[in-house]
């Protein structure tokens, strides 16, 4: 017997599909996240849902697939192009996520106004009126000439319009306000977001339009229904405000056309977003004198080195179970490093609270931060400031060995460029010829690194 209704229940957290409603998603364990997803009704008396009766597909040799000579479009923002992996790809879909007020609409408006001068572009605004957008564009003194705008939330209308006008770049702000008429669910629900995005992505592939979708972030920091969009889109970027709200970081979480975890930095000014070509400089604003527990490390961000300060505070704990708090670092890694410090460095921190913080709201997910974090902890514990012109990077192994990390030469060059004169690095990363004016100390073991501090 044929099924009467075609619907599935989709988990808003993990995107898993279930045949019937249940209180807890059996895939990811989240409670109360399932919502009904109605599949568009099959045409009356049409083909069955199986493959019997479907038309034959077209198969081609990969070598014979034609590729346009210039598939990338520069956005006019070097930082954005970098995060995209070298500009916008024709027919691709980029999702730009962020909290309200992060600057998504501002960034895309600036990009479209610049691109509009040379290629046809269309800005679909579902949240603001064209008057509001025009007002902002005028205030930012953007070139308005080529930009076409449409206030619309119906996915069908947007698709039909885009199909007729074929813009090279299409911005839809935002995916959460879109609705397809044949889906009986409210805008913003998993069903609507998923189907609207799917139709727009299909359209982009068909017409070779670069599609930029704006997505809002829930308070847990996830895009509403992130997993339901993740497999459709080619590139997922997240725009985040820094703690003091002056800077914005743009990071790629998924990219079919470039490196992931690439970081672009912008400053929010009264004239909109400006790119920051030298991000190290903004994370390095330190006071005149250096306190114990502070050290600059060179971390690897996407495809380039970044200088950031790490701070540690070690203090006698009033608790039976001393605290280990890591901000911008992985907590388990800090616990592991402290164990290595005890076993191979001979430092007893069992009765001390240890706090470690990466300054500027930067999150470090690579092992190159191990050695600098340990050195900062040692400096705080001994209450002895480290030299101001010292930098460090390197991975620390469980046996206390200091292991090399990728990009050693580039990291040293970046540090030398910013005036650092001394570096403690893994011996495997120490170059035959150090950058001019820099004293590079290669170490193989934690004990050597601690000795280098005293030397």
Comparing CB distances to ligand TYD, the nearer of 113 and 392 is 113
Asked if residue 401 lies in contact with residue 445, where contact means CB atoms within 8 angstroms, the answer is yes
Q: Which residue has the tokens 């119906």?
A: 154
Q: Within positions 236 to 275, which residues make up the interface with ligand TYD, using CB under 6 A?
A: 268, 270-272
Hey, what are 389's tokens? 């012109």
Decide: 203 and 163 in contact? Cβ < 8 Å. yes
Contact present, 96 and 215 (Cβ < 8 Å): yes
Dist CA 192 CA 190 (whole Å): 6
Give least dist CB 100 to Mg ion, A: 7
Stretches 20-28, 93-101, 282-290, 441-449: which one binds ligand TYD (CB under 6 A)? 93-101
User: Which does residue 302 touch among ligand TYD, Mg ion, none (CB within 5 to 8 A, set by kind)?
Assistant: none
Q: What are phi and psi of 223, to 5 degrees?
A: -65, 135
Nearer to Mg ion, 105 or 249 (CB): 105
Q: Give the span between the Cα atoms of 403 and 224, in whole angstroms.
A: 40
Q: Which of 364, 426, 431, 365 lies closest to 400 in space, CA to CA?
A: 426
Residue 416: CB partners within 8 Å, gap ≥ 6? 435, 436, 437, 438
Q: Which stretch binds ligand TYD (CB under 6 A): 31-39, 84-92, 99-107, 147-155?
A: 99-107
d(CA 247, CA 265) in angstroms, rounded, equals: 7
Q: Look at residue 85 and give the partner it binds from Mg ion, ligand TYD, none, a contact being a CB closer than 5 to 8 Å depending on partner kind.
A: none
Q: How far is the CB of 4 from ligand TYD (least distance, A)?
A: 42
Cβ count within 10 A of residue 39: 14
Size of the site for ligand TYD (CB under 6 A): 14
* Rounded Cα gap, residues 301 and 263, in angstroms: 6
Is 276 a binding residue for ligand TYD by CB under 6 A? The answer is: no
Are the C-beta atoms of 215 and 222 separated by less than 8 Å? no
With contact defined as beta carbons under 8 Å apart, do 447 and 344 qualify? yes
Among 85, 91, 98, 258, binds ligand TYD (CB under 6 A): 98
Minimal distance, residue 33 CB to ligand TYD, in Å: 25
Q: Which is nearer to Mg ion, 239 or 334 (CB)?
A: 239
Minimum CB distance to ligand TYD smaller for 105 or for 379: 105
123: β partners: 149, 171
Q: Which is nearer to ligand TYD, 116 or 272 (CB)?
A: 272
Residue 269 beta carbon to ligand TYD: minimum distance, rounded to whole angstroms: 6
Minimum CB distance to ligand TYD smaller for 10 or for 95: 95
- 10 makes contact, choosing from ligand TYD, Mg ion, none, with CB < 5 to 8 Å by partner type, with none
CB of 113 to ligand TYD, least distance (A): 12
User: Which residue of 105, 125, 249, 380 would you call a contact of ligand TYD, by CB under 6 A?
Assistant: 105
Distances, alpha carbon 162 to alpha carbons 73, 74, 89, 157, in Å: 18, 21, 17, 8
172 vs 392, which CB is nearer to Mg ion? 172
CB 369 within 8 A of CB 392: no
Residues 98-127 that bind Mg ion (CB under 5 A): 105
Residue closer to ligand TYD, measured from CB, 268 or 349 = 268
Among 102, 341, 369, 415, binds ligand TYD (CB under 6 A): 102
Which residues fall within 8 angstroms of residue 322, CB to CB, at 6 or more apart? 349, 350, 351, 352, 353, 354
Q: Contact between 153 and Mg ion (CB under 5 A)?
A: no
- H or E, element range at 314: strand 304-316
Inter-axis angle of helices 446-454 and 331-345, nearest 10: 80
Nearest residue (CB) to ligand TYD, 98 versus 408: 98
Nearer to ligand TYD by C-beta: 125 or 429?
Answer: 125
Q: Which of 114, 260, 243, 242 is nearest to 251 (CA)?
A: 260
Taking the C-alpha atoms of residue 212 and residue 84, their distance in angstroms, rounded to an integer, is: 12
Q: Report the partner that residue 102 touches, choosing among ligand TYD, Mg ion, none (CB closer than 5 to 8 A by kind).
A: ligand TYD
Q: Which of 75, 92, 106, 357 binds ligand TYD (CB under 6 A)?
A: 106
Footprint of Mg ion on 256-315 (CB under 5 A): none
Binding to ligand TYD (CB under 6 A) within 123-182 occurs at 136, 140
Which residues lie below 8 Å from residue 279, measured CB to CB, with a gap of 6+?
263, 265, 306
Q: Which stretch binds ligand TYD (CB under 6 A): 97-105, 288-296, 320-328, 372-380?
A: 97-105
Nearest CB to ligand TYD, comparing residues 97 and 408: 97
Q: Which residue is nearest to Mg ion (CB)?
A: 105
User: Which residue has 């743009």 as its token pair?
Assistant: 250
Q: Please give the residue ranges that form the binding site for Mg ion (CB under 5 A).
A: 105
Residues that bind ligand TYD (CB under 6 A): 98, 100-106, 136, 140, 268, 270-272
């Amino acid at each position: 017997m044929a099924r009467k209704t075609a619907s599935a229940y989709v988990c808003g957290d993990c995107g898993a599909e279930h045949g019937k409603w249940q209180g807890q998603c059996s895939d990811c364990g989240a409670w109360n996240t399932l919502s009904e997803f109605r599949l568009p009704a099959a045409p009356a008396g049409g083909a069955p849902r199986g493959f019997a009766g479907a038309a034959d597909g077209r198969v081609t040799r990969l070598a014979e697939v034609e590729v346009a000579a210039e598939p990338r479009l520069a956005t006019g923002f070097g930082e954005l192009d970098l995060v995209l992996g070298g500009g916008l790809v024709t027919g691709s879909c980029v999702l730009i996520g962020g909290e309200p007020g992060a600057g998504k609409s501002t960034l895309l408006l600036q990009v479209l106004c610049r691109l509009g001068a040379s290629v046809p572009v269309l800005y679909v605004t579902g949240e603001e009126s064209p008057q509001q957008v025009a007002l902002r564009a005028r205030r930012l003194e953007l070139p308005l000439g080529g930009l076409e705008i449409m206030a619309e939330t119906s996915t069908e209308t947007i698709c039909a319009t885009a199909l007729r006008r074929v813009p090279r770049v299409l911005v839809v702000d935002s995916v959460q306000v879109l609705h397809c008429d044949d889906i009986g669910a409210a805008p913003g629900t998993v069903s609507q977001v998923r189907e609207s995005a799917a139709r727009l992505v299909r359209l982009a592939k068909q017409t070779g339009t670069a599609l930029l979708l704006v997505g809002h972030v829930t308070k847990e920091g996830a895009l509403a229904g992130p997993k339901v969009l993740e497999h459709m889109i080619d590139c997922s970027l997240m725009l985040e405000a820094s703690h003091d709200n002056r800077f914005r970081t743009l990071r790629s979480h998924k990219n079919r056309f470039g490196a992931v975890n690439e970081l672009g930095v912008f400053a929010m000014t009264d004239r909109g977003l400006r790119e920051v070509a030298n991000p190290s400089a903004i994370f390095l604003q330190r006071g005149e004198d250096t306190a114990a527990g502070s050290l600059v490390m060179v971390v690897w961000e996407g495809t380039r080195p970044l200088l950031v300060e790490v701070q540690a505070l070690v203090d006698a704990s009033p608790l039976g179970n001393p605290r280990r708090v890591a901000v911008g670092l992985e907590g388990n890694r800090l616990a592991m490093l402290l164990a290595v410090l005890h076993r191979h460095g001979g430092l007893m921190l069992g009765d001390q609270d240890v706090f470690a913080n990466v300054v500027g709201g930067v999150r470090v997910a690579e092992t190159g931060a191990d050695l600098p974090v340990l050195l900062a902890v040692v400096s705080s514990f001994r209450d002895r400031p480290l030299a101001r012109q010292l930098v460090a990077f390197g991975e620390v192994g469980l046996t206390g060995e200091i292991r090399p990390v990728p990009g050693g030469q580039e990291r040293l060059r970046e540090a030398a460029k910013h005036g650092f004169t001394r570096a403690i690095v893994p011996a495997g990363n120490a170059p035959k010829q150090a950058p001019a004016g820099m004293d590079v100390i290669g170490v193989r073991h934690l004990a050597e690194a601690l000795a280098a501090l005293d030397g």
